[in-house]
Amino acid sequence: MTVRRALPGDTEAIVAIRNHAIEHSTALWTQTQQSPAEGEAWVAAHLERGSAFVAEVGGETAGFAVYGPWREKDGYRYTVENSVYVRDGMHGLGLGSALLAEVIGSARAAGHHVMVAGIEAQNTASVRLHERFGFRHAGTVPEAGTKFGRWLDLTLMHLPLARTAAHPADQPSV
């Protein structure tokens, strides 16, 4: 297994993994597949930030992970949210752990303060994965979304990336 920064040539494989998750799981709370153009734009935004990674097994893309802004308002600019996806049939090989370690390290190196994970509450494998990396439960929002004809609960988890109380740029001038 190799984990590396994603490249533009990885877009098709990333979109295929994402679309499989859209069609078959509650990991993404939409039933609308990403078109190639939408997928290209989504991946391009992460490539520009340097926040997309892929895991390869035998030369094939077996998973990907990204992090990006948690909310659009500037007060949240030091908080990022992660997403980790492993291709169907490739679970249990440590790919999710390797990818999550990479995005955490990258976000920390980029100066982010907190990483958030929003996980469908019944996805215990993802909750356990995040717990192994030090994420803590921040709360669960009951019936926050719907898919496949049922209500879904959203578990929020967080991981401090930096130990400072406030970012130096936010300190009042003296």
Question: What pLDDT does residue 43 have?
Answer: 96
Give per-residue pLDDT as tens, 79-129.
Answer: 999 999 999 999 999 999 999 999 999 999 999 999 999 999 999 999 999
Token readout for 34 is: 């990403």
Residue 33: CA count within 13 A, CB half-sphere: 10
pTM of the model: 0.91
Whether residue 3 has pLDDT greater than 80:
yes
Whether residue 172 has pLDDT greater than 50:
no
Token readout for 12 is: 């098709």
Whether residue 174 has pLDDT greater than 90:
no
Whether residue 171 has pLDDT greater than 60:
no
- Mean pLDDT in residue range 9-30: 96
Question: What pLDDT does residue 173 have?
Answer: 44
Q: How far apart are the first and last CA of the chain?
A: 51
Give per-residue pLDDT as tens, 21-80.
Answer: 999 999 999 999 999 999 999 999 999 999 999 999 999 999 999 999 999 999 999 999
Question: What pLDDT does residue 154 have?
Answer: 98
Whether residue 168 has pLDDT greater than 90:
no
Cα 169-53-87 angle, rounded to 5 deg: 140
Give per-residue pLDDT as tens, 122-167.
Answer: 999 999 999 999 999 999 999 999 999 999 999 999 999 986 555 5
